[in-house]
Structure 1
Amino acid sequence: MPLLRDLTTFSDIVKDTFARRRAQATWDAHLRAHPAPKPGSVEAVIYFADAPVNLYQVRQWYEPMRRLAAQHPTVVLTRDVVTAAALAQEAPLQVVHLVTLAEVESWMAVQRVRLVFYVNQNTRNFQMMRFRDPAHVFISHGESDKDYMASNQLKAYDHTFIAGQAAYERISKRLVDFDVDKHLVRIGRPQVDVEYAGPTLPDDGRTVVLYAPTWEGDRPSMTYSSLRSHAGPMLDVLLATGRHRVIYRPHPRTGAFDPEFKALHSAVVSKLEAANAADASARHLVDTDSPFGWHLAAADVCVCDISAVAFDWLATGKPLLLTEPASGQAEIDRQGLAGLVDTFGAAEAPRVLDVIDHASTPETRSKFDAIVEHYFGDVTPGASMQRFLDASARIIESRHPEAPAA
């Protein structure tokens, strides 16, 4: 139906145009109330050239960057006005919006930026990396065993901040001609040292299960999501017990590549809504928009895929059910977390209660301690955050104006 397709495309263009006009008005109002940073005042930048759909990648760095900014002025630099308008309303940092590369060059020429952080591998990162004086540091948007985490793109950066020994081993095994000791900096996971605001759940004795599937991926090697393979039968069991409360936290990009996953997501939401309608005390929760973090304290058990959520949860020491990808094409690192813990296959989804019981035994939980040390190092409260701040400060101070360019 070419005509229908053309009409849909035209409608999308019109919607996007109006959204950008609204965003521009919001941004202009923000600038009138919040002047741009003074020349020479900015020392560090989070470079984020993406559309709002990927804001989750920078949100998890708000608090670590806010603390860094207290000592070394730090801003978020964006190239998309809709993203800039959203950041202006929620980020605890100053926001700079520059559209063209010429504008970026002019701004950099009057600032004393010593360090540029990158949370993803957007191709527009390469435009920022033309500047020689700052150190360029990849911090990613989570620690995981996904193939993405050992990309050859890491060679483009001066440094990559990693969580711990597991990341060091993963990268050193997979990259050729890469000096891991020079370029990798262990910082732990500073996000575990942040207290997150979240909803208050009833203290009624129910076991709270966090189900946090990742998105479907945009290539066969990244098909880790359990929405198609595990969600239906697993949730049918959990919602029927009267003893469990489910927090459903899908990946923000769910359905972005494969429309089927939008339908699968909607089916999960419908299941939880129906369960709440049948039992108002159940208080099952669908969370699609809050910053990830409060879930770690609120839930007793986590079911998730090979993703950053698994590693954030791992540091809590509470029972983890790591799903086994149903696709045989998914790239699985059996030397990583998927080889250290028992994975949760689709055939086991109807027996999820038994799997939870097994993950909750003292023997299973005790072996998590060594795994946590391997992935994160010291997880004493505050230790990871301090390592991040110290590493960032060292780089900033080493790149003073008189220092030679890298």
Structure 2
Amino acid sequence: MPRIEQFRRALKVLSDHASNLLLERRVRQQLASAAPATAQGYDAVIYFADDVASAYQVRQWFGPMSRLARTHPVAVLCHRPSTAAALLKDAPLPVYLATGITQVEDFVRTRGTRVVFYVNNNQANFTVLRLTSPIHIHLSHGESDKISMASNQLKAYDHCFIAGEASRRRIEAAVRHLRPGSLVEIGRPQLDDFVEGTDGDVLKGRTGTTRRATVLYAPTWEGDRPAMAYGSLVSHGPALVEAILASSEYRLVFRPHPRSGTRLAAHGQAVDRIAAMIRAAAKAQPDAGHYVDDRPDFAESFTEADVCICDISAMAMDWLPRGKPLLVTLPADAGAAVDRNGIAGVVPLLDAGDSGNIVQVLHDLEAAPVSQEQLDLVHRIFGDTAPYASTRRFISAFERALAEAGL
């Protein structure tokens, strides 16, 4: 390699390192300003090592963790300064930064932390798992039929809090030699976020601008490998959106996955194209009410929608308890792992070739009642979905884990 190129690379490494140090210093100052005035103990922390694009995985646990924090203080412990800064903007829980395992260990020791929660299987989790004093509990950041939901990595945790029977069957069928009792069914505590957010006008949001039926299109990202290629942005999205926008019957809310385009540029480009189509339609017909939902919380768009179109993802599962029409896209990539014994075997599927005919598909979907199979699937996936039933199971499972460990 020419010396000049070596020099440029070395200079870039030094520049990046200096930038990271400045960012970390600035973020630590922000966190210190927002921290409680006196040192506080935390019974539990959510340890999160991922980047800003994945911060939604923590955010969707803000509601359940806030309810747990009423009796057991909870904090968020981030590995990356940029993620800590992003979460600090809207976190209802205290946020801290620990860029190395020694800092994590000091935090756990000095704050009396008894439980460490994890919302994914980031490799950095397994450094923290060396700590023997706290209980380590894995939380899925969403229940779905994606192949990633059954991982051998789940063996590393003391407990895995899962949604229900469907999750248990999926994991036990795929993962050998699981420790008996490690899987704990808690339902979906996030469903109770809707209970707390539906007082009075039921989050009307922008629904007052139109009498059209609201269609929520919420595609997932492209996935990290062919078996995870569930995203419909490229295969279904443009034709589907164009047809809905051309209809006078429907109002479209588009909510792309935060990680769209992080691996395949075409998916990010599809988001930009669809967003531009929606902006143009909203400008031409302001009363139609079309918009792109980029809010951290999806509760409002969920509450507004009459019909949901999404991919094989947690969005599909979370929609099921609403008892409203659901249309799931059939992955166009032949390598995508589709479980025909799961949601794809129960709800109507949309082939990519039918995307341009989506208005007629929606007519047919709305004309038929939601199937009993779809309604029954809710109990198989989440168990009891009565208000706060999942929250009670979550908190009880947490307290039981403490009692079993003698903590």
TM-score by length of 1: 0.90
CA distances 1:48-97 after superposition (whole Å, capped 9, x unpaired): 01221211100000011011111111111111112222222321111221
What SS class does the counterpart of residue 202 from structure 1 fall into? helix
What residue number does 1:108 align with? Answer: 108
The equivalent residue for 1:302 is 308
**Paired residues, what number?**
397
1:44 aligns with 2:50: no
Shift of 1:389: 1.6
Determine the structure 1 residue equivalent to 2:376.
370
Structure 1 range deviating more: 363-372 or 78-87: 363-372
Q: Is the 8 A contact 2:159 2:183 kept in 1?
A: yes
CA deviation after TM superposition for structure 1 residue 20, in Å: 6.3
Structure 2: runs of 5 or more not aligned: 198-202
User: The residue matched to 1:106 in structure 2 has which SS?
Assistant: helix
Aligned residue identity for 1:124: A
Question: Conserved in 1, the CA contact under 8 Å of 2:52 and 2:83?
Answer: yes
Which residue of the other structure, out of 260, 272, 297, is the alignment partner of 1:266?
Answer: 272
Alignment of 1:181-330 (within 5 A): 181-195=180-194, 196=197, 199-202=205-208, 204-330=210-336
Q: Is the 8 A contact 1:36 1:96 kept in 2?
A: no
Which protein, 1 or 2, shows the higher relative CO under an 8 Å CA cutoff with sep ≥ 6? 1
Distance of aligned partners of 1:268 and 1:387 in 2 relative to their CA distance in 1, 3 Å threshold: same
The 1:277/1:174 distance shift into structure 2, 3 A limit, reads same
Does the Cα contact within 8 Å between 2:323 and 2:370 map onto a contact in 1? no
Amino acid of the structure 2 residue aligned with 1:30: L
Query: How large is the Cα RMSD of the aligned pairs?
Result: 2.6
SS at match of 2:142: coil
Residue 275 of structure 1: how far off its partner (Å): 0.9
**Structure 1 residue 337 displacement after superposition:** 0.8
Would you say the 8 A contact 1:27–1:88 is kept in 2?
no
| 1:349 equivalent in structure 2 | 355
* Equivalent residue, structure 2, for 1:404: none
Moved more, 314-323 or 19-28: 19-28
CA contact (8 A) 1:145 1:336 kept: yes
Given the superposition, is the C-alpha separation of residues 347 and 12 from structure 1 closer, same or farther in structure 2, using an over 3 Å criterion?
Answer: farther
> Alpha carbons of 1:37 and 1:220: their partners in 2 closer, same or farther (altered >3 Å)?
farther
**Cα distance in 1 between the residues matched to 2:214 and 2:346:** 24
* DSSP-derived class of the 1:277 partner: helix
Q: Which amino acid aligns with 2:75?
A: V
User: Which residue type is aligned with residue 68 of structure 2?
Assistant: L
The one-letter code matched in structure 2 to 1:248 is F
Q: TM-score, normalised by structure 2?
A: 0.90
- CA displacement at 1:19 relative to structure 2: 7.3
User: Does structure 2 conserve the Cα–Cα contact (< 8 Å) formed by 1:224 and 1:306?
Assistant: yes
Q: Which amino acid aligns with 2:107?
A: W
2:394 to 376, 385, 388: 388
Residue 397 (structure 2) pairs with residue 398 (structure 1): no
What SS does the aligned partner of 2:337 have?
Answer: coil
**What amino acid sits opposite 1:149 in the alignment?**
M
1:31 aligns with 2:32: yes
Partner residue of 1:332? 338
Query: Structure 1 residues 52-61 or 188-197, which shifts more?
Result: 188-197
Question: Does the residue aligned with 2:207 lie in a helix, a strand or coil?
Answer: coil
Preserved CA contact (<8 Å) 1:134 1:399: no
Distance in 2 (CA, whole Å) between partners of 1:182 and 1:162 is 12
Q: Distance in 2 between matches of 1:313 and 1:83?
A: 28
In the TM superposition, residue 165 of structure 1 has moved relative to its aligned partner by 1.0
Task: Give me the whole-angstrom Cα distance separating, in 2, the residues matched to 1:198 and 1:396.
Answer: 41
AA at the equivalent of 1:340: V
Query: Structure 1 residues 28, 281: closer, same or farther in 2, change over 3 A?
Result: same
- Of 119-128 and 190-199, more deviation after overlay is shown by 190-199
- The CA deviation string for residues 237-263 of structure 1, in whole angstroms up to 9 with x for no partner, is 110111211110000000000111121
